[in-house]
Structure 1
Amino acid sequence: MRIIVEKDYQTMSKKAALMVASQITLKPDSNLGLATGGTPLGMYDKLIEMYRDDEIDFNEVQSFNLDEYCGLKADHPNSYHHYMYQNLFNEINIQKENIHIPDGAAEDSQQECRDYEKSIKRARGIDLQILGIGSNGHIGFNEPAENLNVATEVVDLTEETIEANSRYFDSKDEVPKKAISMGMATILKADRIVLLASGKNKAEAIKKTVSGKISTQVPATLLQTHPEITILLDQEAASLINKEDLSADCHFEICE
């Protein structure tokens, strides 16, 4: 595990964008796993800027999103389809047929999950997976539980996650109670993973994630088992990390 601490959200976002750009430069037909929420927005802004400056080309890239709300059509303003097009896809040259996002409005959601897994396998897996983290340690919509899903599946959202996501809706009651999410095994099969976290409200989750103890009650702790995981933080998100809790093979870097 590699932990990189940047001074603030903007420098963290720029570093994340450079990591994505490096992946595409080395492998123009990369398969990217993409995340939504507030944290990746700065990274997406930087990627758009780099595309406009001819520093990066998305023409051969395929994308696979982590999740989508159940019950929301693609054109719903709070769907993750809408989020991705508004914040990235409409501004770059990615081919529409290379964009993969679960269909939250599918009549048969279980079949949609199976088909989504097949689409990832047909692409020969994800080269670089971008992740955010919930304040309760969830990644994607893999919520704390005794058992976690292996593959893409319909999941129930916790009250904590519904409350956190209610800021994007007119009211808490409008937040969907279920979502389609990549499972933990699907996420962990990615060749490389970069987890982004910013702000004091993520500090406790990050502390638990890197503590050296693995628990399904903090799904992000399973990332410790991945051979190519980078956790990219701002100073606030890193504020509770105790170096003594880190494993011996963990590289901890604070950027000035």
Structure 2
Amino acid sequence: MRIYKVKDYGEMSRKAANIISAQVILKPDCVLGLATGSTPVGTYRQLVEWYEKGDLDFSEVRTVNLDEYKGLPRENDQSYYYFMHENLFDKVNIKPENTNLPDGTKEDSEEECARYEALIRSMGGVDLQLLGLGHNGHIGFNEPAEDFAKETHCVDLTERTIEANKRFFASADDVPRQAYTMGIGTIMRAKKILLVVSGEDKAETVAKAFFGPVTPEVPASILQLHEDVTIVADEAALSKAPC
């Protein structure tokens, strides 16, 4: 596990974008696993900027997203489909047919999860998986639990996650209660993992996840067992870590 300690959110975003762009340049048809939420927005903004300068080419890149709310249509401005198009896909030359997310409108959870898991395997797996870190240690929508979920599944969101996400909706009542997410096993099969984290409000979680015991009660702690993990965190996020 490599940890890059950077000054602030801007530097975190540039460093993460550097790592992703290196992957794209090294393997133009790579499979990128992508994340949503506020933390990676700066990273996507930097990638778009480099694309606009002619430094990056996404024409052969394929993507799979970590998760999607269940029950939200793609055109809903809080769907992760909408988020990815708004922040990255519509601003670079990636082919629409090469972008993939779970389909939140599918009611049959088992069928949709099996389809998505098979899709990832058919692509040869993920070359580089981008992750954020939830306040309760979740990655994707893998919430604290008694064991690690192995494959793509439908999850009931915890009240803490609903509370954290309600700022994006008109009210907490509008936040979906379920989501489709890659499982911990799916994430761990990625060849490389890049986790970005920023802010003092994540400091305690960072300390537990990466300097404490590996436990499904802190889902991100499993990353300690992956052979190629890079964490890019700002000073505030690492303020309670013994490093």
> What TM-score, normalized to structure 2?
0.99
Query: In the alignment, what sits opposite 2:41?
Result: 41
Aligned to 2:16, the other structure's residue is in SS state helix
Q: CA deviation at 1:26?
A: 0.4
Cα distance in 1 for partners of 2:36, 2:57 equals 21
Aligned to 2:163, the other structure's residue is in SS state helix
Equivalent residues of 1:28, 1:61 under 8 A apart? yes
Cα distance in 1 for partners of 2:61, 2:99 equals 9
Aligned to 2:121, the other structure's residue is in SS state helix
Cα distance in 2 for partners of 1:170, 1:232 equals 32
Cα distance in 1 for partners of 2:137, 2:239 equals 16
Cα distance in 2 for partners of 1:170, 1:47 equals 30
Pairs within 5 Å for 1:59-98: 59-98=59-98
Cα distance in 1 for partners of 2:200, 2:160 equals 17
Deviation readout 1:90-126 (Å, 9 max, x if unpaired): 0000001100000011132221110001110110000
Cα distance in 2 for partners of 1:117, 1:236 equals 36
Pairs within 5 Å for 1:97-108: 97-108=97-108
- Comparing 165-174 with 101-110, greater Cα deviation is found at 101-110
Deviation readout 1:35-86 (Å, 9 max, x if unpaired): 0000000000000000000101000000000000000011111000000000
- Comparing 119-128 with 210-219, greater Cα deviation is found at 210-219
Query: In the alignment, what sits opposite 2:206?
Result: 206
- Comparing 102-111 with 57-66, greater Cα deviation is found at 102-111
Deviation readout 1:139-185 (Å, 9 max, x if unpaired): 00000011231000000100000000001001001000100000000
C-alpha RMSD of the superposition: 0.7
Q: CA deviation at 1:212?
A: 4.1
Cα distance in 2 for partners of 1:60, 1:108 equals 31
Cα distance in 2 for partners of 1:111, 1:97 equals 21
Q: CA deviation at 1:242?
A: 1.2
Paired residue type of 1:146: E
Query: In the alignment, what sits opposite 2:114?
Result: 114
Q: CA deviation at 1:211?
A: 1.3
Query: In the alignment, what sits opposite 1:123?
Result: 123
Query: In the alignment, what sits opposite 2:238?
Result: 238
Cα distance in 2 for partners of 1:134, 1:149 equals 16
Paired residue type of 1:161: T
Aligned to 1:217, the other structure's residue is in SS state coil
Equivalent residues of 1:29, 1:62 under 8 A apart? yes
Paired residue type of 2:134: G
Cα distance in 2 for partners of 1:14, 1:160 equals 29
| Unaligned ranges ≥5, structure 1 | 244-256
Q: CA deviation at 1:5?
A: 0.7
Equivalent residues of 1:208, 1:221 under 8 A apart? yes
| Unaligned ranges ≥5, structure 2 | none
Query: In the alignment, what sits opposite 2:25?
Result: 25
Equivalent residues of 1:212, 1:224 under 8 A apart? no
Q: When the two structures are aligned, how many residues end up with a matched partner?
A: 243
Aligned to 2:211, the other structure's residue is in SS state coil
Aligned to 1:210, the other structure's residue is in SS state helix
Identical counterparts, % of pairs: 50
Aligned to 2:39, the other structure's residue is in SS state coil
Paired residue type of 1:226: H
> What TM-score, normalized to structure 1?
0.94
Query: In the alignment, what sits opposite 1:6?
Result: 6
Query: In the alignment, what sits opposite 1:151?
Result: 151
